Structure 1
Amino acid sequence: MSRIENRIDDVISQGREAFAEGSESYDRAIVAVLRLASLFEEEKRFSEFLAVVTAEERRGITTTRNIAAHRGYGAMNAEVFWRTVTELLPDLLARIRAATRA
């Protein structure tokens, strides 16, 4: 989890201006999403995470992962991807962290 959070923190600290396809920031965001999506591939092992992630959030993460892995980065809307990584994922990761501490 901390590696995912660190990548997202790096993306946020570099700012929207640095976030473009092919940039280090964009690539770090992609890796963060790929790693997050992988947590959901082993439902038994990560069931405590799944309990705090809505079905819609899980579909969104999986869809983003699939676009990145199978269709290429160019198929993504950079603005939507930016907002997802910098606004939605930090909240999601905070909920997962809170659930694992309980």
Structure 2
Amino acid sequence: MPGHHSAGAPRWSVRPRTAAPAPGAPTAVQSLHDELAKIERRLEDVICQGREAFTEGSDSYDRATVAVLRLAALCEDPSRYAPHLTVITLDERRGIVTTRNIASHSGCGAMGTGIFWRTVTERLPEVIARIRAASES
């Protein structure tokens, strides 16, 4: 019976990634560029909406949070993107992950809206530009 699971039977299981990409799958660089473009679009939206609109719970704040979440995820997948992320310093990686943790768990009030605003409108675009340049060379 579809959707029926007996008691104690796992509904899903974690499977390791396969070593080889599927035929026609995008390369790591293509995937990285696609992800960077998604992050950049969110950051551009945040910047266009302006500082006044950047409050916790706003569309602008939510877009910034998702951008930080996605960038942190790239930094935490060293097997796939490591060669292209060497331009990010260890301190920057820690900052990205810490910002993600604060934004997603505590809200920008825990770090100050001004700090979060400067991070997503000044620091992250510069970091993304370095990653893109390094992956293109």
Instruction: Determine the C-alpha separation between the residues in 1 that align with 2:91 and 2:52.
Output: 29
Aligned twin of 2:53: 18
TM-score, normalising length: structure 1 = 0.94
* Secondary structure in 2 matching 1:45: helix
Instruction: Determine the C-alpha separation between the residues in 2 that align with 1:67 and 1:98.
Output: 28
Q: Is 1:86 matched up with 2:128?
A: no
User: What code does the residue aligned with 1:25 have?
Assistant: S
Runs of 4+ in 1 over 4 A off after TM superposition: none
User: What code does the residue aligned with 2:113 have?
Assistant: A
Aligned residues: 102
Aligned twin of 1:46: 81
1:49-87 Cα shifts (integer Å, max 9, x gaps): 320001111010000111123334432310000000000
Aligned twin of 2:102: 67
In structure 1, the gaps of 5 or more residues are: none
Instruction: Determine the C-alpha separation between the residues in 1 that align with 2:68 and 2:85.
Output: 15
In structure 2, the gaps of 5 or more residues are: 1-35
Q: Is the 8 A contact 2:108 2:116 kept in 1?
A: no
* Secondary structure in 1 matching 2:65: helix
Q: Is the 8 A contact 2:39 2:71 kept in 1?
A: yes
The structure in which a higher percent of residues are helix is 1
* Secondary structure in 2 matching 1:57: helix
Q: Is 1:99 matched up with 2:127?
A: no
* Secondary structure in 1 matching 2:88: coil
RMSD (Å) for aligned C-alpha atoms: 1.1
Percent identical residues: 63
Instruction: Determine the C-alpha separation between the residues in 2 that align with 1:100 and 1:93.
Output: 11
Higher RCO (CA < 8 A, seq sep 6+):
1
